[in-house]
Amino acid sequence: MAKKNILVIEDNHAILDVITLILESEAFNVAGLNKGADFIDHVQEFNPDVIIMDIMLPDIDGRVLLKELKETPSTSHIPVLMISARYNSTNYTLDGISADDFMAKPFNIDELMDKIYALLKK
């Protein structure tokens, strides 16, 4: 079975590094971004099976990126796990568009992996 691709967009370099190490240890291909610039181009290049996205990014609100992703026909099918230290699970929508799942930071590694595997099964 081919390795699955996971794109992580997280502005905190330490968190991005930890998530990347964990996912790579689980045999995923991982690409990381720390800002939203050229997000859709990266998505189309890397072709992720799941996206893990922080809501609070330095250059754009992650919900805006989520809306763009879900409104683009070639990327609308990609499941998204939103993560945030400031928002709760009821506050991660924009114009009625919400992520496929949500986790608050700090998060448990086992819960992160459970959510990723559940999104891959969709």
Confidence band, pLDDT 50/70/90 cuts, at residue 95:
low
Taking 70 as the threshold, does the pLDDT of residue 96 lie above it? no
Regarding predicted confidence, which is higher, 5 or 87?
Answer: 5
Task: Provide the pLDDT for residue 89.
Answer: 59
Task: Provide the pLDDT for residue 6.
Answer: 98
Domain boundaries, the chain: 5-121
User: Is the Cβ–Cβ distance between 23 and 6 less than 8 Å?
Assistant: yes
5-121 maps to CATH 3.40.50.2300: yes
Task: Provide the pLDDT for residue 106.
Answer: 87
Q: What are the pLDDT digits (tens) for 50-94?
A: 999 998 899 998 889 999 999 999 999 999 999 988 766 555 665
User: Is the Cβ–Cβ distance between 72 and 45 less than 8 Å?
Assistant: no
